[in-house]
Amino acid sequence: MSKRTVLITGCSEGGIGAALAVAFHNAGLKVIATARNINKMTNLAALGIETMVLDVLSEESIQDAASKIKKLDILVNNAGAGYNQTTSDLDIAKAKELYDLNVWSAVRMIQVFLPLLLMSESSPTIVNQTSVLSVVGVPWQTAYGSSKAALASITSGLRYELAPFNINVIELKTALIASKFLEKPGVSESILPEKSIYAPAKSVLNPTLHYADLSSKGADPAQYAKEVVGDVLKKNPPKVIWRGEGATQLWLSTMLPERFINGAISKISHLNEVEKLIKQ
């Protein structure tokens, strides 16, 4: 039998996608790793992993990639970005761009690659990368969290829609990973506008917007990816996979009243410090 083939988006070096590509490769699958810039995947190519240019925001790029692929068993929609800002100060244009990337690009990938998945005779599967923030609202991350909540809802509905075709649809709820995600512009360059109602707390809020204190934390990407791939390749894979630092605690919190996680949310967002400065 030919190897199962998996296509993964967002595989630039140092990110979750690259770690997943290596883990699927180590599990014996044929991996097609994609990113906008092929030069950011040289580490994967050196391992014998096929790399391909694919910009998920470009219809032409998606169609071009699809024309080059003859067989597909697993589609992993991993490409995405963050955008941290107070809701009252959100740049709506930027928020719409975030939704285009985190939500609609995944939908378009599914639409274009669905014919190949329908031809698969080896447990065809779609994996959508969402986030633990799709179920827990966190201050300053409402644009990002809501975009992941939208994809989570689409994933849930899609699971029912594709059940008659025996296609598995898996949601990957990822928590904190020690990757380059926090280095992306939407997070690393976040800054409070001068006229914000939160201006009195900018000394605390500006570093918090790009979560500088989390830059050295998170689960090991390689271990995370190995566990995720193990879950996806099970005979009966889970519908929702919770992985990453803090994922188990957040999963448990979904079964408890909100007050049980208020303290943790306030701590990670420095909300109490912000409130004190505003009320001075």
Catalytic residues: 144, 148
Q: Residue 168 and residue 162: Cα distance in Å, rounded?
A: 8
Nearest Cα residue to 135 out of 16, 24, 249: 249
- DSSP H helical segments within the chain, as ranges? 16-26, 42-45, 59-68, 92-99, 105-119, 142-162, 185-188, 202-209, 221-232, 247-253, 259-269, 271-278
| Dihedral sign of CA atoms 136, 216, 78, 165 in order | negative
CB of 35 closer than 8 Å to CB of 16: no
